[in-house]
Structure 1
Amino acid sequence: MNKIDLFQDKILHSGRHLRLYLPQFKGADCDVDAAARFIAATFVSLNKTPNKLIYHHFTTATDTSNIQVVFQVVMDTIIKENLEAVSLL
């Protein structure tokens, strides 16, 4: 999830809490962590290919160190999948 800072601002200050849009969310109205985890879990639950892992990260695009971590994880995943495809792993 990119723009976690904007998500946090909306949850804390907009007066429009996640439950208004997703009534199945049972967390506290101002609990940003619970709301973010709920959204991530919702996406993961939609995975129709259980042997494919879904990685989620909460990022702010202006935080370059965070974005570098995401890029590294993506590159590692691509390399691993390619090595598995040619039976080297």
Structure 2
Amino acid sequence: MDVIKKPSKKELVNLFKIISLLKTASGGLWVREIARQTKMHMETARRIIIKYPKIFEEYADFTNYNINLKIIRLKNQNITPKNISQFVGN
């Protein structure tokens, strides 16, 4: 069983920025767009998304030109600051 360390305050702020954004994006967004809209570095957004697989899911979206875009969306739309601990560790 993988143990996830408790996130820092800054990481929690960034995590909630991503969660808030994805709650408004019904179909999900790709990582670059998440980073742009939350004003964080793309690698920071990617790292947070990968670190919390209980929160985020990735799926492939094929465009008309057969380009595979990896779209990120929330697994659970009911994540709040009060219940986040069940998704990110103690």
TM-score, normalised to structure 1, is: 0.25
Structure number with larger C-alpha Rg: 1
TM-score, length basis structure 2: 0.25
Q: Which protein has the bigger strand share?
A: 2
